[in-house]
Amino acid sequence: MKNKIFLTLLASLSVLTLKAATTNNIDTTQAKGLEWLVSQQKENGSWSNENYPAMTALCLWALTTENSSKYEKQKEKAAECVASFAQKDNGIYKAPTGGRGSGGLSTYNTAICMTALYKYNKLKYKDIILNARKFVAASQVQGDSTSSGGFGYNMPNGGQRDRPDLSNTAWALQAMRTTQDLEEFRKGERVDINWEKAKSYIEKLQIQDGKDKGAFGYSETGERTQKANSKVPLKTFGSMTYAGLESLIFADVKRTDPMILSTIQWVGDNWTLQENPGMGAKGLFYYYNILSKALELYNGPIKLSDGKTLDWQKQLQNKLIDEQKADGSWINTDGQFWETDPILVTSYCLLVISYTK
């Protein structure tokens, strides 16, 4: 009897030791990533491509996951840099000065920038954030079109890059839901988006039956499984499926709703960290970021196809530990979606770590 009790205690101690070792490893990984990111900050507080303040905002957002005053000077400089891009039209972006790559993507940049400023110091930057809420609300596609309720890269004005898609819609919904408590400071009528129209738009991008039931496509005009045809299902992607999941949750869809249940079923049946399903290595770290954020929001058990419960936090932590470079950064070998920029990818990874912890 004593031997049995001893063996049980020994087994329990081994499990606790293993968990502690994993925590220490991910803490070390996080610390190295933060140190590397800070070392890359420019004198003016920015990071990477200064034509897109969202790049700096993502770094600021990542630094706010370090719950101490260790990087306060760097965060303050970054926040001031992001705030300096506030425009007279209430957006937070750099107006394009020439061709593609010179700026723009106004809705995308505004959504990320206002969220980062909120995460850092919502009261200090409340006026800029409240103005940004006006801008994002005005960016939602209105009218009776099938795209009504969605968001694109830019304010809708008929251009190709302001056509709504699920990725930009997810960023916009997160920004509006995260910052909504600041509306108590607004003088006059409160500002918000049409959440019912947003939900309707999201629903149109979800596959309702077949082997991909529960998964999501990128946009209504996006790539389809066969020759483009309105009757042919959209091609689905892992990253967009998690963007759909988080968007539904931001839109206050209940966890018991069939739309969410079918997505969780898809997650269990198609779980992988080896690729971004449907895209391979393209956007792999964006996939990790959106995946971890969506599953943290869902906050419920997920059954794999073999019946086991998914421990997505541990699997993601181990993946990032394995993929981190010696200098503390991360990078994708596939350059699609700017992921050969280690600053962008490292920001994603630090956010992933925060969602797993």
Let me know if 2 is exposed, middle or buried by CB neighbors in 10 A (0-12, 13-18, 19+): exposed
- The average confidence (pLDDT) of the chain is 91
Q: What's the token pair of residue 280?
A: 């391979």
Q: What domains can you pick out in the chain, each with its CATH number?
A: 42-198 (1.50.10.10), 205-357 (no CATH)
Q: How would residue 220 be classed by pLDDT, with cut points 50, 70 and 90?
A: confident
In this prediction, what percent of the chain has a pLDDT beyond 70? 89
Q: How would residue 228 be classed by pLDDT, with cut points 50, 70 and 90?
A: very low
Residue 76, pLDDT above cutoff 80: yes
Give the residue from 299, 310, 234, 217 showing the smallest Cα distance to 272: 310
pLDDT in tens, 320-333: 999 999 999 999 99
Q: What's the token pair of residue 33?
A: 């990533």
One-character DSSP codes across 33-102: HHHHHHHT--TTS--S-TT-HHHHHHHHHHHTTS-SSTTHHHHHHHHHHHHTTB-TTS-BS----SSTTS
| Mean pLDDT calculated for residue range 313-326 | 98
| Mean pLDDT calculated for residue range 158-167 | 80
pLDDT in tens, 282-301: 999 999 999 999 999 999 99
Q: Residue 154 gets which letter from DSSP?
A: S
- pTM of the full predicted structure? 0.91
pLDDT in tens, 93-130: 999 988 788 899 999 999 999 999 999 999 999 999 99
Q: In the beta sheet, which residues pair with residue 280?
A: 276
Q: Residue 275 gets which letter from DSSP?
A: S
